[in-house]
Amino acid sequence: MQQDLVALSVELQLVADRLAEHPSEALRLLEEARGEIEQALRATALLAERVYPALLDESGLLAALRTAAVHRGLSVSVDVVAPGDYPPALARTLYWCCVDLVEHLDPDERATITVRDEGEALTFELVGVNRERASNDLRATFESLRDRIEALSGQMTLAPGPGSRVTVAGSLPLSG
């Protein structure tokens, strides 16, 4: 992103240099710069969401997970039957696990994320990664995520799902 902004700065200097003598070329360069600014703003918003999803705090898991899927251009059905406020560490861990897993989906794959409050635990399930396309990268991601879940005394499994899908399921205890 920094390189894009440096290039934009150079482009704007070109506009300033050409403005007096070549106004039509300057206008064309300004239009290109506007497009680059819009692209940089989108990239910045995605980066900010990746660092900390403010929507998670503002609107909860359902909105944050749906938005994450939409931003990635994925077809993911999200069902959150867990209407409570949860400890921030628990909600963030669950959110990032789901987001990291959906990144293994191909854009043409459909997936389902289900989150439920089972009283003692917050459970989640993601069904959708095509087993034939699931790579060693998915296995490594799963191991890393399972470590995060277990650090909060939870558990997570990876198993064959319906058809050629993989199911990732887990739970996080609601009591400390």
The verdict on 84 and 20 lying in the same domain is no
Q: Measure the CA–CA gap between 114 and 81, rounded to whole angstroms.
A: 8
Unique residue bearing structure tokens 């710069």: 33
The verdict on 45 and 62 lying in the same domain is no
Q: Measure the CA–CA gap between 92 and 60, rounded to whole angstroms.
A: 10
Per the model's pLDDT, the better-predicted residue between 64 and 50 turns out to be 64
Structural domains of the chain, count: 2
Residue pair 105/74 in contact by the 8 Å Cβ criterion:
yes
The verdict on 42 and 62 lying in the same domain is no
What does the pLDDT read at residue 58?
83
pLDDT at 23 over 80: yes
What does the pLDDT read at residue 132?
62
Residue pair 101/126 in contact by the 8 Å Cβ criterion:
yes
Note the pTM of the prediction, 2 decimals: 0.67
The verdict on 77 and 109 lying in the same domain is yes
Per the model's pLDDT, the better-predicted residue between 76 and 44 turns out to be 76
Domain boundary among 15, 33, 50: 50
The verdict on 123 and 42 lying in the same domain is no
Question: Mean pLDDT across the stretch 24-43?
Answer: 83
Domain that holds residue 103: 56-173
